[in-house]
Structure 1
Amino acid sequence: MQYIHCLNNISNYGTDLLPGSYELTDEFGKATGVLVRSAAMHDMEFPESLLAIARAGAGVNNIPLDRCAEEGIVVFNTPGANANAVKEIVICALLLGSRGIVEGIEWCRDNADDENIAKSVEKAKKAFAGREILGKKLGVIGLGAIGAQVANTAIDLGMDVYGYDPYVSVGAAWRMASSVHHVTNLDDIFRECDYITIHVPAVEGTIGMVDERACSLMKDGAVFLNFSRDTLVNNEAMAAALESGKVHAYITDFATPDVMKMNGAIVLPHLGASTAEAEDNCAMMAVRELVDYIENGTIVNSVNYPACDMGVCPEGAGRVAVFHENVPNTVSQITNVFGASGVNIENLTNKSKGNHAYTLLDLSEPAPEEVVAKLQAIEGVRRVRVVC
């Protein structure tokens, strides 16, 4: 029996996909796999039984990735599962930033007791007049699952779209409309675009990338949208740009004390992926990743180990997964253990991601216990798992 522990409420659409040999448990200490959304895991100690953590969402800053890698625990996320939900709210934000919608709603509420509000509004609405997005330039920083969808929808709305992503995947490129202009210099996005939306992860090199210099390059009256991560934007620089009028509006999905003090900021309470459909999609994708890994050793959409897929576990034979440091001679030591024990290797895949490597081996027979022990004794080997 495989035990799955949910650290947050996970959609039944996902947990209902668990096979009959799986059982949900409230006991974290005996979990084989964990499903999580936002629960903080950095201070948690992981049981030896834990094989994998699946995050029902894209961001994984609530999970200690390096420590998990060192313990041979694979961490998955669900890129693209909530892309449509975020895309829709970004399009909503474009309209909020171009028309005085929020200000107009607030005016109506503030004047709700005015018996002549129908006449008063005709004079007041001039203060909330905005502009149309048709024909305006939109810069999309990051062309992954979300950024590509935003770009395509903006094209359909008649915007002139410019995209920047030095690491754009072939799949994302195929999904994007051919009319999206590919920009190779990020500064051109800041200089040329009336609206800018950012869709990149918060990692070294992107944290604080929207700084004083970036804001100074923006067109006067630009609108900046952040539905990715709050740390991508330097709050002091953005506040100054809003005060000076350089930036007309900053629309963000991240309510922090600094952002709440900004004049000209429209702040949403992290609603980007908060739809029933997105939660269902993320849960289903997370469960499928978790089960495929537990059953077959397959790694897809891991953030701390490389992708690896050798198909379904062979019947009547054996499959062993070895987690190890990415250093020379480790694979040869692994194969030598099997050769010295007279166990034939039918197939082998070795993949690496930074300092972390994953070797998956199909054998002519189930791996004997003494072989597993010898593998575990190799220097640099973190974990050995008998998959089947």
Structure 2
Amino acid sequence: MLKHYLAASTLAIAMATALPAAATEIAIGYLRAEQPAPPVLSNLRPDPADLGIAGAQAGLADTRTTGQFLGHDYTLDVVSVPPGGDVLGAARAALGSSRLLLLDAPADTVLAIADLPEAQGALLFNVAAPDPVLRDAECRANVLHTVASTAMRTDALIQVLLAKRWTDIVAVAGAHEADSAFMDALDRSAGKFGLKIGKRKIWAFDADMRRAASTEVPLFTQDLGDYDVLLVADELDDFGEYILYNTWRPRPVAGSVGMTPQTWSPALEQWGAVQLQERFRDTSGRDMQPEDYAAWAALRSIGEAVTRTGFAAPDALRAYILSDEFELDGFKGRPLSYRGWNGQLRQPIPVVHPRALVALAPVEGFLHQVNELDTLGLDAPEVDCTAFGD
């Protein structure tokens, strides 16, 4: 009771001292730290140049629809820093113009920006870095996370495997850092739900597989033995496509390819998702991707908080967003909210193949004492985050 009273008091004080947003401009920044693309075996699906940015612009359009009736004028200033550029300098400049900033950057850059003196008192949204550590020991009070963490995605996948009774699991992992992190998350999720990943192999090829996959991959996977499902950790889209339909045993493939857990997918068609997809295609000319959805959700979170409170100051918005009163319609069948212990956006995770939804996690039967969405990712007892005071 005391914790809820203090939270309510904090919200009331913040709202009382914030400047009213009516008839004012709510300036929002979007800062992208461009990353050099690593060499991969396949380049069939290059990232669009406006990845993430298009999602923020779609969120801006949706937010302006409501804001125009309330006298709220939202603007979005996008800054993209090339590899090797002065990201921190760009962040200081962006924070000088807006105290609300979306960060499309790797985890170390997010932390460096959050720790800037200029960022104290600002409200930052991590829309790209899935690293669980940002929601754990390295959390920051001024950073909220709309991109699903790697742990949320792997928890969703393991729930689906259990529901299908695919419990005899083997794995193939790439050698990149992101692949190792995804494999570690798969191991953690399997243990969390009482499973264990059995035999595993590291992807050992660095040659063009387009002609050799049908002969090399069966031999590579032969000694994995029999199993229910093969998990692939290939977060860079390097080799996973060559695993599909080429394994020694005809078994389902999941993880980074095949049946995949995503923050968002074009395969979502219920709960008004089709309308969101269509609006996005009309403005961007392509499908909404997970990075776009995370940026859209950040923009919409700001808009929803401004609409409900009537204030635009970061402290007032943060207090409301982290309160029990906040809900966001994320077109995923359940209202979305933020975890008070680490700032992560609670959200269902679609587990999909490229053309259809397989399941929406949390899967029926996975229960939680407070919110079933907290079966996905780091629950309060699991985190070592003290910045949020919960």
TM surpasses 0.5: no
* TM-score with structure 2 setting the length: 0.31
* TM-score with structure 1 setting the length: 0.31
The higher relative CO (CA closer than 8 Å, separation ≥ 6) is in 2
